[in-house]
Amino acid sequence: MFDSITKEAKGKKVVVFLDYDGTLSPIVDDPDKAFMSAEMRMAVREVAKHFPTSIISGRRRERVKEFVQLSNVYYAGSHGLDIMAPPRAVKACDKKGNEGAFQPAKLFLPAIQEMSIELEDTIREIQGARIEDNKFCISVHYRQVPPKDHEMLKEKVKSLVGNRPNFRLTEGKMVLEVRPSIEWNKGDALNYLLDTLGFSNAKDVLPLYIGDDRTDEDAFKVIASRREGFPIIVSSIPKDTIAWFSLRDPSE
């Protein structure tokens, strides 16, 4: 794989996109303890010195930045619904020219906060279930829920979200993701970042995306459709994926 990437990268502008959980950090039972290693942080820092680097996560953008602790990367939280550039980089601007985060679902915030409260009430009695407020989306973690209660939790959440046309439900690794029903995903975030960097129509750009989750497939699709770049999945077992290459785990 590395020989193929090195060969293809000659004379190209390499742009790197990374998921966080399961890619830069191991998957853990407690999402608050998904720490990346010092070695991984150093590796990402070095990559970002040479290539534009973005971290696209389902988590709240500020939380991802707390974990990563690097100032030279782009952070895209909430599955790309909240994007911030590093200092001295190209940034989004409001109508007055003020720099800030790109947040296409900002108008949904009050409804998202209400949904978070409803979800808390819905799963309150289920042992081990946990809500994570990711600002523009809500994660319902059930990794610590007894297996016998998994389907009950899913049905409760599906029933609630199904009655809210402003929201949609997706699934990840032992997590349900409740998102606003805006047509935006990690693939759209990838395209937005390429455009922000001035690479949207460039023929000499080589995007690399490394991720481990179902939500990363949207970004894999974008790279596959460009027919330039490398979608890479992190998984220790074979998966149905659009990715062209695979890594066993974050350490590899």
**DSSP class of residue 86?**
P
40, burial (CB in 10 Å: exposed 0-12, middle 13-18, buried 19+) = middle
Q: Which residues contact 159 (CB under 8 A, 6 or more apart)?
A: none
| Degrees to nearest 5, angle at CA 170 with 105 and 25 | 90
Does residue 19 have an active-site annotation? yes
- Tell which residue, 95, 55, 93, has the closest CA to residue 71: 55
Q: Which of 3, 19, 32, 218 is labelled catalytic?
A: 19
Q: What's the half-sphere exposure (Cβ side, CA atoms, 13 Å) at 214? A: 9
Give which of 224, 232, 229, 28 is closest to 130, Cα–Cα.
Answer: 28
Q: In what order do the strands lie in the sheet with 130-133?
A: 130-133, 138-141, 175-180, 167-172
Q: How many Å apart are CA 160 and CA 140, to the nearest integer? A: 13
Residue 16 tokens, joined: 């790197």
Taking the C-alpha atoms of residue 207 and residue 195, their distance in angstroms, rounded to an integer, is 12
Active site positions, annotated = 19
